[in-house]
Every structure is written in structure tokens, then in C-alpha cells.
Structure 1
Amino acid sequence: MTRWQWLIRLLTRRMWFRAALMCGFGGALALAGALVGHTISYHFAATVGSKSVDSILTMLASSMLAVTTFSLTAMVSAYSGATSTITPRAVQLLIDDSTAQNALATFLGSFLFAIVGIVALSTGLYGDTGRVILFFGTILVILFIVVTLLRWIEHIARFGRVSDTIDRVERAALAAVETIAVPLALDGEPPAVEQSGRTTVPAPTMARVTHMDIALLGRIAEAMDTDIYVLALPGRLVEPGRPMALIDGTVDEAAVEEVQHAFTLAHQRAFDHDPRFGLVVLSEIASRALSPAVNDPGTAIAVIEAGSRVMLRLLDYRPQHITPLPARVHVPPIPLAALLDDWCRPIARDGAAIVEVSVRLQKSLGALARHAPAARQVIADEASDAVDRARAALTSDADRELVERTHRDAFAD
């Protein structure tokens, strides 16, 4: 995905974007009668009996204003609830929800349609024949509202709930897996890239990398006839004193700025190209659920299962399934150990004293190890750390023995 495609995608997700489109459509539909009303015969207009359109539009305007206000209240309440009881990092997924945005845009666009229609009617802009177009447009808008309301009623029943948010984060993490262009490092940290003899590309400010235009980097490398080594993958915190990338050889400042423009920086991490962020948010949901104030191990177990599915997808994502990178652009693999730390360590720490959580974590890690024998040692190390934490936190000998036995069974040869 190029930088411009990424920026357009971000634009279309903004809540005001769909609302603005629907408002424009509603206003255009309301004025259509004045433009094409002359094509309708007076006899047909009298037969349809569109005189009642005034009262229909008045009722539509008042009801749509109330429904829009209610929808906004419900959405803000869901955002606030997710912030206080789940995790603030998951709120962006609720804000980007297409069903909620479509509902709000439909109600606001219908309100504007009714207002524009009432104002135009009061000026006599339509005439008898133009009212027919407005009448049929009103019927169309009402049908659209009914369909949207039915979808919104079904959707709002689970919008912002814990289970719904976990599903959203899981889907976002799985979608991010499909966008990464690098494999996993299954046997520990990848080797460091040698910096001597290469020009560093520093970050212009301290921020998070949210997108990296690989195609642009490939074109720059070909134009300069050199190799570019990416150091900062999406999700990485960069700063002016540390390089985001290295350019083989010595190049001028203009070339460094070109490479800088291939990286999109933001103050907050984004889910789209950063599967680690999805795992981090999942672990935050589990940690909140395992806090003494909440004490909800069931949610933590649901997070473990969701994280396991994301890890399975990551382990299955082999280099032959990846779109080839430009020949002269080198991107480091994602270390599996870091992914496991992001997902498992907070759960193992906060759920160490709850035997059900510790047992479920051991079973999930064992399933991952059996699925990916090449990563067995890295996964086993993470599982051993979780066992040590549980052994220190559990007060019952029987519980400790159950966790240890589950670990032995999960990683039995």
C-alpha cells in the first residue's frame, strides 16, 4: 500500500467523511425535484397526490434529529465504557466501526434532506410537478432509514461490549498479519544490521511508525543504485537520535529526506500494519479483567484464545506467501519472542494467582508449539516463565501441581 493509499484510507475512516457524503446526497436529492420536475406531467402529479409531502418532511426532520442525537449518545457511551472498563487503545476500533458510521450518516443525511426540502417548499421552488420528485425521494429515504434502523438496533445491542471489543481487536490483528511483508524470526532475535559505511536516516521527531511505503523505498533504491536497510517496522517508536533506516554508502541530505518521506509517523500506534499492537491491546484487556477491582478470569481466557488464533496465523505466514519485496530493500523479520512477550507476559503476571488462567495459557502455548516445531524452544521458554510466575503466586499445592502437570503434558515430546 502506497503512502497516498494509506492516507486516503485513513480519511475514509473519519466519522465526518460518511456523514458529509450522506448530507451531500440528501441535499442533492431534495433539490432534484426543482431541476427535473418539468419532466413530470401535471396530470400525473395531481394523480399521485403529493400535497402531503410537507407534513411528511416536517415529521421526518423532527424524528431524525432525535434519532441522530440518540445515536450519538449511544456511541459516546460505548466509547466511554470501553475506555474505562476495557482499554483506551481499543476505542479507535469502535470509532472506525462502519455500521455505526453508516447509521449516523444516514440519520444526519435524512435530517438534512428534510430540512432542505421544507425550505425549498416554502419558497415555491418545486411547483406541483416538482413535488412528485420530492415525494418519491422522501419514500426512498424512509425505506433507507428503516433498513438502517433495523441494522443499527441489532448492532447496538453488542456495540462496545467486552466480547465485541475482543473480536474487533482479534480481527484487526489478523488483518494486520496479511499486510506485513516480512517473516517471523522463530529462533530468537534477528542479527543487528551493520551501520558502518552506511548513511543513517533519522526520524524527524519522536513518534510511532504507522506505515512504510515499501514500493517508494524500492524506487528510491533503484534511482540511487544502492541498498536500503529498514530498521523501524510499523509500531516502532523512533526518535531523532536513532536511525529508521540505513542507506548503503554515502548520500546527500536530499536522498535522506526522500527515504524519510516513505515513513508515516504518528503519535499513536495503529492496528493496520502492526500485529504486535493487536496482541498488546489483547493483553491489556486481559490485564484489566484480572485486576482485583474487576476479577473476571473468563475474559482473560477469551483473550488467550483470541491471541492464540492470531499467533497461529502469524506462524503460518511463510515467506513464500509474502509479496516479494523490492530487490534492494531489506526489511528485518519480526522476532517471535517479542510477539510472545507482548501477548503472554502481562497475562502470566496478572493471572499467576488464578489457576484457570495459568492452565489455559499453558494449553494454548503447547498447542502453538505443536503447530510450529521450529518455534518450540522460544514458545517453551515463554511457557516456563509463566509456570514460574504461577508457582510463586499460587497458594495451593494442588493448584501448583495442576499448572506444572499441564505444562509437562503440553510440551511432552
Structure 2
Amino acid sequence: MMGPRRRRGRGKRTRMTTGIGAVLGRIGRQVWARAALYTIASVVFALAAGAVGTLVPFRVVVDLGQDSVGTILQIIASSMLTVTTFSLTAMVTAYSAATTTATPRATQLLIEDRTSQNALSTFVGGFAFSLVGLIALSTGYYGEQGRTILFFGTLVMVALIVVTLLRWIAHLSTFGRMADVIDRVETAALRTLTTHAESPTLGARRFTELPTGTSAVRGDASGYVTFIDIAVIERVAARADLGVYILALPGSMVDARTPLVATTAPLEDADRAALIRAVRVRPHRDYEQDPRLGVIALAEIGSRALSPATNDPGTAIDVIAALQRVFETVLSCTPSDDVAHEHVFVRPVVLPDLVTDAFRPLARDGASVVEVQIRLQKCLDALARTDPERSAVFRTMAATAYERSHAALDEWDVGDLEQTYRATSGRLP
């Protein structure tokens, strides 16, 4: 997508994670993984108080009063169960609101929200800590010193719960709102597109035309390509001493008849299976490696806001502003010429496809809304001026949007649109 640039990209270059690191990263973004980790840590913390009490060479005993620790743990157990239920309800409500008012493609970003995951995990961990502590107290697991250590540990847990609860309450004021959803999708689009702009071929060689005489490798699943483990493909290609051409990029829809890759020589069954496993196919698209999904999701939010049932041109204008910020940052990136995978070839996504994904829905569905069209013309003009070498892509989209809108607007609004188009493009089509 990106040609030679003179400017340096903003921020540090992001490396594409592959192999075990990618798997651990995906697991770490799941709600259940974080909650399970916090629960295990809480259980270990509660049980460790008894063991530490018998191992320390000095005595730390505080007169706590009759069953004071048990009373505090009972309060935590009952309150954390209620707070956890409330938090789950709030999270599900936010997911549902994002699905119905923004786009279902934004739901996975809300699910991966760190603040909500930490809050839910802390509440579940606090519940597990108090429950295990109560059970251990009832069985006489703690000695006198162990009860004292458990008491101080309970105070630490109470402080952690209170701080987390305050942060969670503040977070709920914006979580799942339209502005929050747009910001999250913009961040995801910017992250993936920046990575793609800096390494369009994922560290492989670039190709434009598939050479003759290659052998196609097809998978056995239908769905979207969500991840390509380029390092695994390189190892297979180097071992077999052949070239591998990636035909199905992340975001591509494939089935059992669609070639995933093509090789310059026939493969053994084990190598063929390894190549198929290196291309992950799932029922739904994912932001991790898909450079087009972020701008598609933003366009969907704007398109839905322009529907007659919603009639919210302000949201569409906010989406156009978000798209402008994304493209301005991406256009300033410097692509890397380094080739880390000598035996792998990739044909990257091109800029016209991204521009079409981002702006065609807004030009089509907002054709009869002059405010949206004026903002769209100004956005495309700004992007054309940002990158004069590829300004034709944005000028073509601006002309297309103008022609769509010119046919849909009434005579009073057409004049304002023509004035804006003359000021940005300098001419009328």
C-alpha cells in the first residue's frame, strides 16, 4: 500500500507477533483468562497466610476480637457477588448498545477493554479470596499468627477492591457510548494500519503477479483469514527450498476451493499441513492483522448514523474526522525495506482499496445530507494535500462523492456543495 516516503512514521515501529507470542497475546485479551488468573492468585494468597504463619521465625499476633476476620470475609463475599453481577450486567448492556447503535464489529474491542476486565477480575478474585478464607477458618487451617496475617491480607484486598470500584464507576460514565466506540475503533484501525504501512509485506518479499507453474494449497475451512504466521511459512519454505506466495491476506473470505498460498514446487503432506495451519481461518474478522477492518468498521458506524431511522449526521461527521486522523498518520509512515522472510512473497493491500472501504459508504448513504458531504470533501482535500504523490486516489473519491451528492441534493444545497468542491478541488467535474 505504501510507496517510498521521505517522512518518518509517528512512534516506535510495531513488530508483528507470531507463533507462541501471538497465541498468548490472544489469550491474554480474553475476559476469562484474566479472571482466572486473578482468582488463582487470590486463592493462593488466602492459603499462603496459613503457611507463612507457621514458617516465619518471629511472632506477629494482634488481638482481633472474636471472629473479626470471619465477619469481614463474609461481608466481602456477599458484596462481591452482588458487585460482580452488576458489573456483568453493565458490560453486557454496553456490548448490546454498541452492536445496535454503532457496529457489531466494535463489540470485540469492548470485550478486550482492560479496565472492565480488571474490574471484573478483581471482584471475582475478591469473592474467591473471601470464600476460601472462610472455609479455611472453619476448618482450623489458620493458627493464631496465620489469622493475623490473613487479617492484614484482607485489609489489602479491601483497599484493592475499593480503588478498583471507584475506577470502574468512573469508567462506566463513558464505556460503550458512541464517542467511546468511535475512539476504540479508530485506535484499532490506526494500530493495524500503521503496522501494515510500516511493513506492508509482513517482512516478506513483494510480488505483483503470480508466476506460472505454481501449485495451489487449499484449506478445508470456510471463513475469514484472521492471522498469518509468516515465520512458520518461512521455516517450511526454507526447509523445502521453495517459494511460497500468500494469496489470501487477513480479511479475505475463503472456503475449501480458495487457494491460501501457492508454492513454486510440490509439497510433502506434512509441509502442506503446516502451511494450512499457519493461515488461521475463523468465522469472523479480527483486527489483529486485518488492515481493512478498522476503516470498514468506522464507515459502518457513519453509515448507520445516516440511516433514516437514526438520522444522526453529527456521528457521521465525527467518523469522517476519525478517518482523516487515521489516514494522515498512516500516510506519514515510512515503510521498511527489510526482508526477514526470503522465501515468502506477499501482495499487500493497496491504498485505493482502503480509501474505497473508508469513504464509499459515507458518500453513498450521506449523499442527501449536505453537511456530511461538505465535511467529506474537506477531509479528502486535506488527505490529498498530505500526500501529493498519491493525491489522485483522494481526488477521484472526492469527484465520485460529489457526483453522487449532486444528484441527490435539492437546488438550495447543491450551491453550497459546489462552492466547497471548487474551493477544494479547484474545478467541477
1:355-403 C-alpha deviation (Å, 9 max, x unpaired): 11001111111111111112111211111111011111111x2321222
Aligned to 1:411: 425
Aligned to 2:4: none
* Deviation, structure 1 residue 317: 2.9
Match of 2:97, SS state, is helix
Match of 2:43, SS state, is helix
Aligned length: 407
* Deviation, structure 1 residue 152: 0.7
Aligned to 2:156: 140
Q: Distance in 2 between matches of 1:142 and 1:25?
A: 15
User: What are structure 2's unaligned runs of at least 5 residues?
Assistant: 1-16
- Judging changes above 3 Å, is the alpha-carbon distance between structure 1 residues 41 and 61 closer, same or farther for their aligned structure 2 residues? farther
Aligned to 2:7: none
Q: How does 1:322-361 map to 2 (within 5 A)?
A: 324-361=339-376
- Equivalent residues of 1:177, 1:313 under 8 A apart: no
User: What are structure 1's unaligned runs of at least 5 residues?
Assistant: none
Match of 1:399, SS state, is helix
1:67-99 C-alpha deviation (Å, 9 max, x unpaired): 111101101111111111111111111111111
- Equivalent residues of 1:304, 1:364 under 8 A apart: yes
- Equivalent residues of 2:225, 2:253 under 8 A apart: yes
Q: Which one is further off, 397-406 or 58-67?
A: 397-406
Q: Which of these residues, 261, 278, 285, is aligned with residue 269 of structure 1?
A: 285
Q: Which of these residues, 22, 46, 56, is aligned with residue 38 of structure 2?
A: 22
Match of 1:180, SS state, is helix
Residue 149 (str. 1) matches residue 165 (str. 2): yes
- Judging changes above 3 Å, is the alpha-carbon distance between structure 1 residues 184 and 49 closer, same or farther for their aligned structure 2 residues? same
Q: Which amino acid is 2:370 matched to?
A: V
Q: Distance in 2 between matches of 1:101 and 1:86?
A: 21
Q: How does 1:317-396 map to 2 (within 5 A)?
A: 317-320=333-336, 324-395=339-410
- Equivalent residues of 2:95, 2:176 under 8 A apart: yes
Q: Distance in 2 between matches of 1:372 and 1:353?
A: 29
- Judging changes above 3 Å, is the alpha-carbon distance between structure 1 residues 353 and 123 closer, same or farther for their aligned structure 2 residues? same
- Equivalent residues of 1:217, 1:259 under 8 A apart: yes
Q: Which amino acid is 1:289 matched to?
A: A
- Judging changes above 3 Å, is the alpha-carbon distance between structure 1 residues 54 and 255 closer, same or farther for their aligned structure 2 residues? closer
- Equivalent residues of 1:40, 1:130 under 8 A apart: no
Q: How does 1:5-404 map to 2 (within 5 A)?
A: 5-39=21-55, 44-47=60-63, 51-180=67-196, 193-320=209-336, 324-395=339-410, 397-404=411-418
Match of 1:209, SS state, is strand
- Equivalent residues of 2:197, 2:330 under 8 A apart: no
* Deviation, structure 1 residue 195: 4.9
Q: Which amino acid is 2:425 matched to?
A: F
Q: Which amino acid is 1:267 matched to?
A: P
Match of 1:229, SS state, is strand
* Deviation, structure 1 residue 24: 0.8
* Deviation, structure 1 residue 407: 2.1
Aligned to 2:6: none
Percent identical residues: 45
* Deviation, structure 1 residue 181: 6.9
The two structures have a TM-score, normalised by structure 2, of 0.90
Indicate the RMSD between aligned Cα atoms, in angstroms: 2.2
* Deviation, structure 1 residue 323: 5.2
Q: Distance in 2 between matches of 1:28 and 1:184?
A: 46
- Judging changes above 3 Å, is the alpha-carbon distance between structure 1 residues 54 and 245 closer, same or farther for their aligned structure 2 residues? same
- Equivalent residues of 1:184, 1:314 under 8 A apart: no
* Deviation, structure 1 residue 35: 0.8
- Judging changes above 3 Å, is the alpha-carbon distance between structure 1 residues 50 and 92 closer, same or farther for their aligned structure 2 residues? farther
Q: Which amino acid is 2:384 matched to?
A: A
- Equivalent residues of 2:197, 2:333 under 8 A apart: no
Match of 2:171, SS state, is helix
- Equivalent residues of 2:367, 2:409 under 8 A apart: yes
1:173-227 C-alpha deviation (Å, 9 max, x unpaired): 1111243277679xxxx98523520111223222111111122222222222222
Match of 1:204, SS state, is coil
- Judging changes above 3 Å, is the alpha-carbon distance between structure 1 residues 134 and 183 closer, same or farther for their aligned structure 2 residues? closer
Q: Which amino acid is 1:89 matched to?
A: R
Q: Which amino acid is 2:380 matched to?
A: L
Q: Which one is further off, 95-104 or 35-44?
A: 35-44
- Equivalent residues of 1:182, 1:334 under 8 A apart: no
Q: Distance in 1 between matches of 2:194 and 2:358?
A: 19
Q: Which one is further off, 45-54 or 27-36?
A: 45-54
Q: Which amino acid is 1:81 matched to?
A: A
